[in-house]
Structure 1
Amino acid sequence: MTRVKVCGITRSEDLQTAVDAGADAIGIIADVPVDTPRDVSPERAADLVTETPPFVTSVLVMMPSDYARAIELATEIEPDAIQLHGDIRPGDLAYLRAKLETRILLAVDAEDISVAKQYDDMVDGFVVDSIGEDGGGGTGRTHDWERTRAETADLESAVILAGGLTPDNVAEAVRTAEPFAVDVASGVEERGGVKDPDAVASFVERATGNTQAVEPGS
């Protein structure tokens, strides 16, 4: 069954919404250099990680330019996994892997998935996203799911499909790309950084193949 990550959690009530809906993981964006309503302080991120219940994976989403700072944040916040965005060189990733015990996810641009091969033995998963000009995700744009499936077929690491997913298209995305997991942020929001409970519930149910999906707003 496809796993689900609800990303861009900023509030305790939205964390609980994701957990109640059956999400396998929640994403918390902290200390990133891009303008997003989903960015929280390291202190708030640590609180949300603490509130995440057992058996739900907490993922700290970061875009580091200073890898000493990345290590400091991961150590301070103590997530189950970190998700890295931006221009990450293999040597930098190897350094982080050596210094941290947490699982590592690497975001890769759906338009340039081939670069993932050189990182395949260094990470636990790839988040295949529609990356913006600033290097961050959360663009709300979909990409070619058939191409994604073809270009990730030989990867050993888990593939997490992101980019423009909503309750309306996630079932088709799962059927087409056959990912290990799907990742949603803006596609289940009432407004920037605030989740819509009905949309979250519908997204999880449709992503996991539950035929009793809830219509958003019902």
Structure 2
Amino acid sequence: MAGRTRAKVCGLTNADDVAAAVDAGADALGFIVDVPVDTPREIDPETAATLVADVPPFVSTVLVTMAAPEDVPALHERVGTDAVQVHGDVDADALAALAADCDATLVKTVDAAAPESARAYADVADALLVDSTDASGAGGTGRTHDWTATRDLAADLDVPVVLAGGLTPANVAEAVRTVEPYAVDVASGVEREGGAKDRDAVRSFVANATGALDGVDEEAEVSA
């Protein structure tokens, strides 16, 4: 049985939302920089760096980007996050080169509709984020996908799997119990409007995600 599932709040754009996510107990915070899609969650590198600098110790920070792999190390150095989450059409060789050049934990996003693609990155990335992506390879679509297929994928891989795509405070506990992922990721599912988080929704999401497996191990032991 999986342990406590971690929660990442992504697409943070301002200091108040960062503070709300930290206060809610989020394990990781995501900052979207340099993406070629129209999203209210994108911020410039300077804003991201300022927000990241104020995140307290023991909360992980993640640069979420679709920049060309060769540009990511310099961008990461400017922003100063603990991890880099790579979206888009980046092959395993390019990702391996990036891993060698960038001093950060590396997360690769894979399309939930093509779970077999995850295996190509399993030996290169530090974690895989399974998301409902659009034609550009970007996430944040607000669409759920087949959690059963993602559960099977997570069970088959040694690399940690992060579940994303259409998660909300209302469905995240069910998603966690179905997939038992290493972590879950939310952006639009806790917003009151584009790019602005709802403090109550963030708090509920984190609590429901991280507490979804409470008591499950004990119940399994009793039934055995």
TM range (shorter): over 0.9
Contact 1:129–1:137 (8 Å) recurs in 2: yes
Percent sequence identity over matched residues?
55
AA of the residue aligned to 2:63:
L
Match of 1:74 among 71, 76, 90: 76
Please report how far the alpha carbon of residue 4 of structure 1 lies from its aligned counterpart in structure 2 after TM superposition.
0.1
The CA distance in 1 between the partners of 2:140 and 2:124, in whole Å, is: 24
AA of the residue aligned to 1:51:
D
With normalisation by structure 1, the TM-score equals: 0.94
Listed as ranges, the gaps of 5+ residues in structure 1 are 212-218
Query: What are the Cα deviations for residues 89-123 of structure 1, in whole angstroms up to 9, with x where unaligned?
Result: 11111111111110000000001111111211111
AA of the residue aligned to 1:49:
V
Match of 2:164 among 157, 162, 165: 162
Residue 202 of structure 1: aligned partner? 204
Residue 140 of structure 2: aligned partner? 138
Residue 20 of structure 1: aligned partner? 23
The CA distance in 2 between the partners of 1:169 and 1:90, in whole Å, is: 32
The CA distance in 1 between the partners of 2:30 and 2:181, in whole Å, is: 18
Q: Is 1:57 matched up with 2:70?
A: no
Match of 1:35 among 33, 38, 42: 38
The CA distance in 1 between the partners of 2:77 and 2:203, in whole Å, is: 32
AA of the residue aligned to 1:115:
S
Contact 1:170–1:206 (8 Å) recurs in 2: yes
The CA distance in 1 between the partners of 2:110 and 2:154, in whole Å, is: 11
Please report how far the alpha carbon of residue 67 of structure 1 lies from its aligned counterpart in structure 2 after TM superposition.
2.4
The CA distance in 1 between the partners of 2:212 and 2:98, in whole Å, is: 38
Contact 2:154–2:161 (8 Å) recurs in 1: yes
Match of 1:112 among 111, 114, 117: 114
Equivalent pairs, count: 210
Residue aligned with 2:108, SS = strand
Q: Is 1:176 matched up with 2:178?
A: yes
Please report how far the alpha carbon of residue 208 of structure 1 lies from its aligned counterpart in structure 2 after TM superposition.
1.2
Please report how far the alpha carbon of residue 134 of structure 1 lies from its aligned counterpart in structure 2 after TM superposition.
2.0
Residue 102 of structure 1: aligned partner? 104
Query: What are the Cα deviations for residues 174-217 of structure 1, in whole angstroms up to 9, with x where unaligned?
Result: 00011010000000001000000000000011111179xxxxxx
Residue aligned with 2:116, SS = helix
What RMSD over aligned residues (CA atoms) do the two structures have, in Å? 1.1
Listed as ranges, the gaps of 5+ residues in structure 2 are 214-224
AA of the residue aligned to 2:85:
Q
The CA distance in 2 between the partners of 1:127 and 1:67, in whole Å, is: 17
With normalisation by structure 2, the TM-score equals: 0.91
Residue 188 of structure 2: aligned partner? 186
Residue aligned with 2:119, SS = helix
